[in-house]
Amino acid sequence: MKKTIGILGGMGPLATADLFRKIVVMTKADSDNDHIRIFIDNNAAIPDRTAAILRGGKDPTEEMASALRNLEKCGADCVIVPCNTAHYFIPRLQEMTDIPILNMLEITAREAAKRFPGKKGAILATTGTLSTGLYDRALAAAGVETVVPDEAQRKTLMYLIYDVVKASRPLAEAAEPWAKLLEELRGRGADYFILGCTELPILADNLDAPGPFIDPTSELAAAAIRFCGYEVKE
Q: What does the pLDDT look like over 24-55, one tens digit per residue?
A: 999 999 999 999 999 999 999 999 998 999 88
Note whether 200 and 146 are same-domain residues: yes
**In the prediction, which pLDDT does 100 show?**
98
* Catalytic residue status for 78: no
**In the prediction, which pLDDT does 111 show?**
96
In-domain check, residue 81: yes
**In the prediction, which pLDDT does 234 show?**
81
The model scores a pTM over 0.85: yes
Note whether 99 and 56 are same-domain residues: yes
Q: What tens digit of pLDDT does each residue of 199-234 get?
A: 999 999 999 888 999 999 999 999 999 999 999 998
Q: Where are the alpha helices (DSSP H) in 116-199?
A: 127-132, 134-141, 151-158, 175-187
Q: Is 194 left (phi over 0), alpha (psi -120 to 50) or beta?
A: beta
| Regions in the chain scoring below 50 on pLDDT | none
71-75 contacts, C-beta under 8 A, 24 or more apart: 71/6, 71/7, 71/8, 71/39, 71/41, 71/99, 72/6, 72/97, 72/99, 74/4, 74/6, 74/39, 75/4, 75/39
Looking at the 3D structure of the chain, how many domains does it have?
2
Note whether 149 and 110 are same-domain residues: yes
In-domain check, residue 234: no
60 with 29: CB under 8 angstroms? no
- Going across the sheet that includes 78-80, the strands are 38-42, 5-9, 78-80
In-domain check, residue 202: yes
Closest CA to 102 of 227, 231, 2, 3: 227
Note whether 177 and 133 are same-domain residues: yes
Note whether 123 and 209 are same-domain residues: yes
* Catalytic residue status for 74: no
**In the prediction, which pLDDT does 185 show?**
97
Can you tell me whether residue 41 is helix, strand or coil?
A: strand
**In the prediction, which pLDDT does 1 show?**
80
CATH number, domain containing residue 118:
3.40.50.1860
Note whether 222 and 202 are same-domain residues: no
Given the residues 74, 78, 83, 228, select the one marked as catalytic. 83
**In the prediction, which pLDDT does 36 show?**
98
Greatest CA separation for the chain? 50
How far, CA to CA in Å, does 228 sit from each of 3, 123, 221, 223? 4, 29, 11, 9
In-domain check, residue 232: no
In-domain check, residue 233: no
**In the prediction, which pLDDT does 198 show?**
87
Note whether 162 and 75 are same-domain residues: no
The residue segments making up the domain with residue 42 are 5-103+218-227
Note whether 86 and 131 are same-domain residues: no
86: which DSSP letter?
A: G
Q: Is residue 100 within a helix (H) or strand (E), and if so which, with residue range? A: none
